[in-house]
Amino acid sequence: MNTNKKALFAQTMDQHKGIVYKIVNSYCQNQDDRQDLAQEILTTMWLAYDNYNKDYKFSTWMYRIALNVAISYYRKDSKREDKANANEQCIVHIADFSAQDDKSEDVKQLYEFIGKLDKLNKAIMLLYLEDEPHQSIAKSLGISKTNVATRIGRIKETLKNQFEKQGA
């Protein structure tokens, strides 16, 4: 990959790295896993960047790759001591979500809610919160627009019920 491309990737990544943060915090429960998954997402994107088609929005391409990596992410022993990571040089550093005080209560609740969803609904929810149209969500997931609408409707209902329960 030439220097121009490297620089372009670095610049674009810098603008969209928040996506990685949202995905790892939605898909992983502990900090080690978040760190590990973030590294896997970034390296996968870097290795796939040569095939990036500029006809598509970078954020859409990035979401697709990041979600695919997150969904297929599997750690045999999530409790293992992170010996491998300790020896590897750290490509990415993610701030510990639980230690961040600048997150609003709404956002914390939202992450908690997303954390309880299954892998597919997590992906739908993340894309929905990014204001992606149903058609685009359907295309990224490879499912029908109707299916997306149905699932979003159900997620909304679950969220409403959860808030009602909390309020009661």
Q: Which of residues 52-111 bind other proteins (CB under 8 A)?
A: 52, 61, 64-65, 67-69, 71-72, 74, 89-95, 97, 100, 102-104, 106-107, 110
Of these, 131, 164, 165, 168, which contacts other proteins (CB under 8 A)? 131
Smallest separation (angstroms) from other proteins to the CB of 155 = 7
| Distances 148 to 19, 81, 139, 152 between C-alpha atoms, Å | 21, 39, 10, 6
Task: Kindly list the distances between the CA atom of residue 77 and the CA atoms of 27, 121, 161, in Å, as whole numbers in the listed order.
Answer: 16, 25, 34
**Residue count, binding to other proteins (CB under 8 A):** 72
Which is nearest to 59 in space by CA: 14, 26, 94, 91? 14
Q: Which two tokens stand for residue 42?
A: 């970034």
Q: Between residues 116 and 119, which has the closer beta carbon with respect to other proteins?
A: 119
Instruction: Say if CB 66 and CB 41 are below 8 A apart.
Output: yes
Q: Least separation, in Å, of the C-beta of 17 and other proteins?
A: 5
- Write out the binding residues for other proteins, residues 136-155 only, by CB under 8 A: 139-144, 146-147, 150-152, 154-155
Give me the least distance between CB of 86 and other proteins, in Å please: 15
Compute the least distance from the CB of residue 60 to other proteins, in Å: 10
Residue 27 burial class via C-beta count within 10 angstroms: exposed 0-12, middle 13-18, buried 19 and up? buried
Tokens 């810098």 label which residue? 14
Using an 8 Å Cβ cutoff, are 72 and 59 in contact? no
**Residue 28 near other proteins by CB under 8 A:** no
Told to check if 29 binds other proteins by CB under 8 A, we report: no
To other proteins, the closest distance from the beta carbon of 31 in angstroms equals: 12
